[in-house]
Structure 1
Amino acid sequence: MTASTNVPKVSVVVPAYNSGPHIERLIASLLRQSLQPGEFEAVFVDDGSTDSTGARLDELAAAHPHIRVVHIENSGWPSRPRNVGVANARGEYVFFSDDDDWFGDEALERLYAYAVENDADIVIGKMAGHGRSVPRELFRRDRPDATLDNAPLIDSLTAHKLFRRSFLEEHEIRFVEEKRRLEDHLFVVRAFLLSKRTSVLSNYVCYHHIRREDAGNVTAQGLDPAGYYANLRDVLDVVDAHTEPGPLRDKLHRRWLRNEMVSRLRGKRFLREPADWVEQVALECGKIVRERFAPGVTAGLPPLQRAITALTAADDVAGLRELAEWEAGVRVQARVDDHRVDGTVLTVDVTAHLASGDQPVALTASDGRYQIVLPVDLDPEILDVTARRAMARLDVVARRKEGGEECFLPVEFRVEDEPLQGAGQGRVHLVHHATATVDFATLNSGRTEGTWLLKARLTENGWTEDARLPLTFRCAADGAAPVRVVPAAKKKPALHRRVRNRLRRVANRLLGR
């Protein structure tokens, strides 16, 4: 499409309610877009704001012809504003944005070009999380033809994506307007299942997703377990309506078991919620595990999640608490063995392992088979990690402090068994070694100006945990050689102050004070 057809390439749809100053970052990012104003539009839907949001948006629209505002009565939920936005959109593609998130400067241009290049119904642009998680594995690389079978698309169920508008119209894909949980899931899962081509753009951070400190969280204060898991069953119904029993359905079901059920019943997250509420969650999850999931769903989980699922299916809340108390202490212990800078190329050697408290996470090793050692009594098959051992890996991740972009560095890694002294015969733990080599001339597509923090990311038997590495580098400009930032040493007291303090201590001892 061209500007002369009077049809924008992209319509950005934004529900807004009492946004206040939080909307300004989004507005600024839209006004900075490399896609020309005649080639995209922003449709803000003011959901009956009672503050100055409506007036601010009217002022914005008056100054910028490619920005429009629709005012509606308050619905109290983003679904109706999004549907109203789509009904008013004129673009070839539609992108759903939240009012407090923001775009990379070239996001819309890159997303649209990638959509046209791949004739995609859906394009998912790389996201940076600010106080919230984003699907990191999905963005390891560009994926021109991603499917639910060949890529972790199911890990990306928020609506912040580019959708071909005619695709949404053809299949009458809309958000359910009643107040309910997981409304994004219903919309996005159906779209994934009907899309002829879905593409993932990973070489540029298109969307910055933020969790505001004043935003409410889905916790015991805001989530009714019975209602929430009834809504989850509705999403499973959509999956079942479009798939046959078998590996793909099991893989999709596994996403909700892992993210919406097991994740709420493990470690610190379990322990910080009221005991009666957690018990309600566990009992609701147990019903779904028993009633809706085929054996292959649980079988495809890592061992820790299999253990939690088994305890949940048995309504063993006491066992879940015991396991959570142990897991709450699990963390990555990592060290930098060496690092070298040669021009713009950085090489880092890292060693890491998992520990709970001050003890490594242990495995029993016998006749070539491994079992994880957990503080609960479960079927040995649930604890078997033999197949999972080959999936363990140590990554090194660079995060740009200024923008929040994260990049996996190219690594060579290996895993070794190390005997645990004094832990009984046959007990070992896994020790991971990685060498990461990256050229800062090409890292983040050459956009490297700023400060880069390094993290070790360890994936092992159901955990994916980060540990900050004691290395920070700064690039003075894009593509410049990285220079290590050395923490400033603490200033020592001046000589006369040290002498004075020592004399005072000696005098106090002599005087018995």
Structure 2
Amino acid sequence: MATPTVSVIIAAYNAMPYLTRCLESVVEQTIGQSALEVIVVNDGSTDGTPDELERFAGLYPKLIRVFHQENSGGPSAPRNVGLGHARGEYVFFLDADDWLGTETLERMVAMSRENGTDIVLGKMVGVNGRGLPASMFKSTQPKTDVFHSRVYWALNPLKLFRRELIEKNNLRFPTGLPIGEDQPFTALAYLAAKGGISVIADYDCLFCTLRDDGGNTTSRTKGSEPRLRFLPTMIDLLLENVPPGRDRDHLAHRHLTIEVQNLLAHISREPADEADKTLARLADTIEPLWHEGINDHLSAMARLRLYLVRHKMLDESMELLRFERSLAKRKVSTPVLVENGRIYARYPFFRDPEHVVPDECYDVTDAIGVRHHVSRVELTGSTLHLAGHGYLHRVETRDVTTELVLRERDTKVEYRLPVRHTETPGLGSDEDEGVYVYDNAGFEAAIDIDTAADGKPLADGLWDISLAIGAQSAVREVRIGSKRAKNLSGKPETQVVQTVKGNRAATVYTTKPFGNYTLDLGEQKHKVARHLLIDSARWSANDNSELVISGHSTLTAFPEGELTAVLTSDSGESAAFTAERTPHTELFTIRVQVGRLTPGLWTGELRLGTAWSVPLPPLPLTLEAAKWRKGGKPWYAKSIPSKGKTKSFALRVDKVDLVRAVLGRLSR
């Protein structure tokens, strides 16, 4: 019997009518039924689940295997049974009330095989109001790990696992936990995934349903007690498997925020005497994970919440919980205090003399929202002009100190340039119900390439452009460009500008994928020569000794009179012919006075100043020889096939040999 690619394991308990759609989504997978085996374990259902399973097994006898057992009280035991029977290269755990996008398994297997990864997460979509983790699905990640991504925030097992990973590490679901039984299994799999982890964010892979009857396991299991049973398990798992340091702190962040917040919600429903004891248990449980340095990874709200929990301040914890709930419903963000360059959110108990809570629990300086918009970006001559606005969310624009920051990407050399502050009446009225006013947030700035480096010319490089937005002594820096006027496309605009150091190439463009502005000096990424193009060549209708070369330039600008065609003879002579530009277009014309050329073989190139050149292309073979008279004698010019693999311009100019011409006619 051939080994299936994927074993889909489904634990089913009273899953009707959701089970039907679940199974249909599996059999319809584009990976094909021949690549699948479906193992469904009926965990003592008392509704129509057993009959529906047998019906599907009858329809797909080679695909679906059904196992019946007494109710175990949770999904762990049936999932373990499924693992015991699985034969696939991969395993996918699917809940009986959820379903798959049609291409899910095909995409997941392809992602794993292309990148050699052991686990693949697929984007999850909540149905009927089901809340799901989303932070890990902001972008597709072909290969990452548990320490450099947000995958740990998704500890459910609804993913694709390489079965070898599971068996090699003896992974099974613990059966003694009423909820959270999937977290130890998934966490250990993440930690063991030496081949890496993939994330698919550009396709809806899994649809998870909030059941109308509230029958989802987590929603059925109430109270803080079951949560206080699995949280110590997870904390012990981290302490045993991840050494102290940044990696452990990254994973601890999840438990110190999500789990603690959820537990406080359950504690709020308990009688006061029980709630006090439960909070004390919670404080003791999280203590091994908490240390002073972990505050750097937490939001101010999380720091405050943990401080109150760790100090077993029940009343204050409940008040903060109520504050968070009301904040979620309000349209106005919490006011702040700006003091000595720091910004503090006015959360409950801030500088309350009856509650000694340190200011660091309220410090939002590094997390404060930074708003900006660019309305003008224009390179005129050697000066780049910018305009727009920028402000710190909830910080009134008083004592504004905003500066423009230029930072070279590789060397990190930076220069700070002053801006002219402009008024922005009404700015902010569309958020926070207009409570906060930002009427002096505008800026106008000029970056002069000749003087921006502390009075000296900027060096060649990629100069990233930022704003250091300052108000009331607080300063936050932000790259600008991602928010800009619709008429600013952000596409690269390359031009050649005259500077004190001569002609220089300058390109203003926005980066991918973030769309922030950068000034490219010296063709680091954007070459000038590719913007110079020859379209055609022909003999003038009015002058047989004039070759008309037409072309176009996609440069935004270049110095007038410096685009020329330069011809060089095999004897070393040269002649230059200046391009004539068609006003308000990209077109140019170069009139080569062939009659001025001396006898010889002439090659040519298109030059812009002295720094840039491109070879002139060969003249069309269909172009007949030109003839004219000079000094009473006949002359000619004709295209000569160039030698070598590279085809280029070659023009033979000479007097007509009258004797040879006569003999040629007589021989006809």
Q: TM-score, normalised by structure 2?
A: 0.53
Mark the CA change 1:51 to 1:322 in structure 2 (over 3 Å): closer, same or farther.
closer
Pairing 1:108–2:105 present: yes
Q: Which amino acid aligns with 2:239?
A: D
Matched residue, 2:362: 383
Kept in 1: contact 2:90–2:161 (CA 8 A): yes
For 1:177 and 1:67, how far apart are their aligned partners in 2?
25
What's the CA shift for 1:304? Answer: 1.0
Q: Would the aligned equivalents of 1:46 and 1:69 in 2 still touch at CA under 8 Å?
A: yes
Asked if structure 2 preserves the Cα contact closer than 8 Å seen for 1:11 and 1:89, the reply is yes
8 Å contact kept, 1:146–1:153: no
User: Structure 1 residue aligned with 2:76, among 79, 96, 104?
Assistant: 79
Q: 1:313 to 1:299 in 2, by over 3 A?
A: farther
Separation (CA, whole Å) in 2 of partners of 1:289 and 1:393? 39
Q: Is the 8 A contact 1:226 1:284 kept in 2?
A: no
Query: Which structure 1 residue ranges, 5 or more long, are not aligned?
Result: 334-353, 395-411, 439-513
Normalized per residue, the structure richer in helix is 1
C-alpha distance in 1, partners of 2:137/2:391? Answer: 23
CA distance in structure 2 between the aligned counterparts of 1:258 and 1:211, rounded to whole angstroms: 23
Alignment-derived partner of residue 202 in structure 2: 203
The aligned counterpart of 1:262 is 261
Measure the CA separation in 2 of the matches of 1:221 and 1:182: 13
Q: Does 1:295 align with 2:292?
A: yes
- Alpha carbons of 1:6 and 1:421: their partners in 2 closer, same or farther (altered >3 Å)? closer
CA 1:292 to 1:392, structure 2 compared with 1: closer, same or farther past 3 Å? farther
CA distance in 2, matches of 1:421, 1:371: 16
Contact 1:265 1:278 in 2 (8 A): no
Per the alignment, residue 155 of structure 1 pairs with 153
Aligned to 1:42: 38
Say which SS state the counterpart of residue 284 (structure 1) adopts: helix
**How far does the alpha carbon of each residue in 1:425-444 deviate from its partner, in whole angstroms, 9 at most, with x for none?**
9799x9x9985999xxxxxx
- Which letter does structure 1 place at the counterpart of 2:162? R
Contact 2:92 2:160 in 1 (8 A): yes
Distance 1:281 1:217 in 2: 25
Q: Is the 8 A contact 1:265 1:308 kept in 2?
A: no
Do the aligned partners of 2:146 and 2:197 also contact (CA within 8 Å) in 1? no
Q: Aligned in 2, Cα 1:159/1:364: closer, same or farther, shift over 3 Å?
A: same
Structure 2 residue 31 is the aligned partner of structure 1 residue 52 = no
Between the aligned partners of 2:394 and 2:47, the Cα distance in structure 1 is 61
Which secondary structure does the structure 1 equivalent of 2:287 belong to? helix
Q: Any residues of structure 2 matched to 1:446-457 within 5 Å, and which?
A: none
| Cα distance, 1:370 vs structure 2 | 0.5
Q: Give unmatched runs, 5+ long, in structure 2.
A: 374-388, 397-434, 438-470, 487-668
Instruction: Give deviations 1:347-370, integer Å, cap 9, x for gaps.
Output: xxxxxxx62xxxx41111123211
Cα pair 1:250 1:294 within 8 Å, conserved = no
Q: Is the 8 A contact 2:341 2:472 kept in 1?
A: no
Q: Assess if the C-alpha contact under 8 Å between 1:96 and 1:160 holds in 2.
A: yes
Q: Which residue of 1 aligns with 2:240?
A: 241
Q: Please give the alpha-carbon distance, in whole angstroms, between the structure 2 residues aligned to 1:380 and 1:12.
A: 51
Structure 1 residues 178 and 366 mapped into 2: Cα distance closer, same or farther (>3 Å)? closer
Counterpart CA distance in 2 for 1:218 and 1:96 is 15
Structure 1 range deviating more: 224-233 or 253-262: 224-233
Classify 1:437/1:166 alpha carbon distance in 2 versus 1 (closer, same or farther; 3 Å): farther
Residues 397-420 of structure 1 show CA distances to partners (whole Å, capped at 9, x for unaligned) of xxxxxxxxxxxxxxx997545436
Q: What is the RMSD computed on CA atoms of the aligned residues?
A: 3.4
Larger radius of gyration: 2
Mean Cα deviation higher: 224-233 or 24-33: 224-233
Query: Quick one: distance in 2 between partners of 1:288 and 1:391?
Result: 36
Q: Look up the equivalent residue of 1:210 and give its one-letter code.
A: T
Q: Residue 88 of structure 1: which of 66, 85, 88 is its match?
A: 85
Letter in 1 for 2:319: E
Counterpart of 1:157, as a letter, is L
The structure 2 residue matched to 1:374, chosen from 347, 366, 376, is: 347
Matched, 1:12 2:8: yes
The correspondence for 2:21, drawn from 22, 25, 32, is: 25
1:185 aligned counterpart, secondary structure? helix
Which amino acid in the other structure matches residue 381 of structure 1?
E
Partner Cα distance (1:16, 1:256) in 2: 28
Compute the TM-score of the two structures, normalised by the length of structure 1: 0.68
Show the counterpart of 1:167: 165
The Cα offsets for residues 329-383 of structure 1, whole Å up to 9 and x where unpaired, read as 21477xxxxxxxxxxxxxxxxxxxx62xxxx411111232111112213211211
Superposed displacement of residue 50, structure 1:
2.6
Give, as a single letter, the amino acid of the residue that structure 2 aligns with 1:96.
F
- One-letter code of the match for 1:321? M
Rate the CA distance shift 1:128–1:427 in 2: closer, same or farther, 3 A: farther
Q: Quick one: which of 45, 66, 69 aligns to 2:66?
A: 69
Identity of aligned residues (%): 32
Counterparts of 1:282 and 1:256, CA distance in 2 = 15
Preserved contact between residue 45 and residue 70 of structure 1 (Cα < 8 Å): yes
Matches within 5 A, 1:487-506: none
Question: Residue 166 and residue 325 in structure 1: after superposition, are their counterparts in 2 closer, same or farther (change >3 A)?
Answer: closer
- 1:134 and 1:237 map into 2 onto residues whose CA distance is 25
- Larger relative CO (CA 8 A, sep 6+): 1 or 2? 1
Paired residue total: 387
Q: Do residues 361 (structure 1) and 334 (structure 2) align?
A: yes
Inter-CA distance 127–218: structure 2 relative to 1 (3 Å threshold)? closer
